[in-house]
């Protein structure tokens, strides 16, 4: 891949590589399911879909017509679904303050912070400074159990995640660090 990304593809820095490679965020539509239930995707730039299957989060159950987001080639989930779970995917989006991300019942969605960073579990101090894209996922019951993935807006940062257990958040964990 070279040049500028298409309108349906956005580049993120590859935190596992010190070179010039990048990982992409892409959007596609589920047009068919294999006999094993794996989605066949069609990207906006394609006239004929590829029979290739993609890795996906185990929590995502594909349905024909879903618009899905792929990060680095892995299906993260539907941000719009034609099925009965239409509002449980990534249908919500917006810009939120650091304090708003402290809610353990924030609607699932794709958000950007207001540049004020992301707070520690107690909400008393900034744990991650700067601008972030945040993927918010919650339990189907929206009962305070869920997770957030924070992707830095600027190149050179690392991806973090945390989980909620009812009414409190864990600390942000760098998921790009080697074990």
Is residue 97 one of the residues assigned to a domain? yes
Q: Does residue 89 contact residue 71 with C-beta atoms inside 8 Å?
A: no
Is residue 168 one of the residues assigned to a domain? yes
Neighbour order of strands in the sheet with 132-138? 92-96, 109-113, 132-138, 145-152, 160-165, 173-174
Supply the range of the domain harboring residue 134: 92-174
Per-residue pLDDT, 150: 93
CA–CA dist 112, 131 (Å, integer): 7
Same-domain status, 144 and 169 = yes
Same-domain status, 45 and 99 = no
Determine how many CB atoms are found less than 10 A away from the CB of residue 152.
19
Same-domain status, 105 and 170 = yes
Q: How many domains does the chain have?
A: 2
Residue 41's DSSP bridge partners are 30
Per-residue pLDDT, 128: 94
Same-domain status, 98 and 161 = yes
Per-residue pLDDT, 177: 60
Per-residue pLDDT, 78: 59
Per-residue pLDDT, 89: 42
Is residue 42 one of the residues assigned to a domain? yes
CA–CA dist 82, 116 (Å, integer): 35
CA–CA dist 47, 34 (Å, integer): 19
Q: What is the pLDDT along the chain (179 residues), one digit of tens a residue?
A: 344 444 444 444 444 444 444 456 677 888 888 888 888 888 887 888 877 777 777 667 777 887 787 776 666 665 544 444 333 345 567 788 999 999 888 888 888 888 999 999 999 999 999 999 999 888 877 788 899 999 998 877 889 999 999 889 999 999 876 54
Residue 75's DSSP bridge partners are 56, 70
Is residue 3 one of the residues assigned to a domain? no
Residue matched to tokens 């987001």: 69
Last residue of a domain, one of 66, 87, 108: 87
């Amino acid at each position: 891949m070279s040049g500028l990304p298409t309108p349906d593809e956005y580049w993120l820095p590859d935190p596992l590589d010190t070179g010039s490679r990048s990982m992409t965020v892409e959007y596609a539509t589920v047009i068919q399911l294999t006999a094993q239930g794996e989605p066949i995707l069609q990207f906006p730039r394609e006239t004929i879909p590829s029979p290739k299957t993609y890795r996906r989060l185990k929590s995502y159950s594909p349905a024909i017509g879903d618009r899905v987001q792929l990060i680095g080639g892995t299906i993260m989930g539907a941000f719009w679904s034609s099925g009965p779970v239409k509002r449980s995917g990534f249908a919500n989006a917006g810009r939120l303050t650091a304090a708003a991300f402290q809610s353990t019942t924030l609607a699932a969605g794709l958000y950007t912070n207001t540049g004020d960073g992301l707070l520690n579990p107690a909400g008393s101090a900034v744990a991650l400074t700067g601008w972030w894209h945040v993927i918010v996922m919650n339990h189907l019951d929206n009962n305070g159990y869920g997770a957030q993935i924070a992707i830095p807006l600027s190149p050179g940062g690392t991806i973090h995640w945390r989980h909620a257990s009812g009414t409190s958040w864990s600390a942000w964990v760098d998921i790009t660090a080697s074990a």
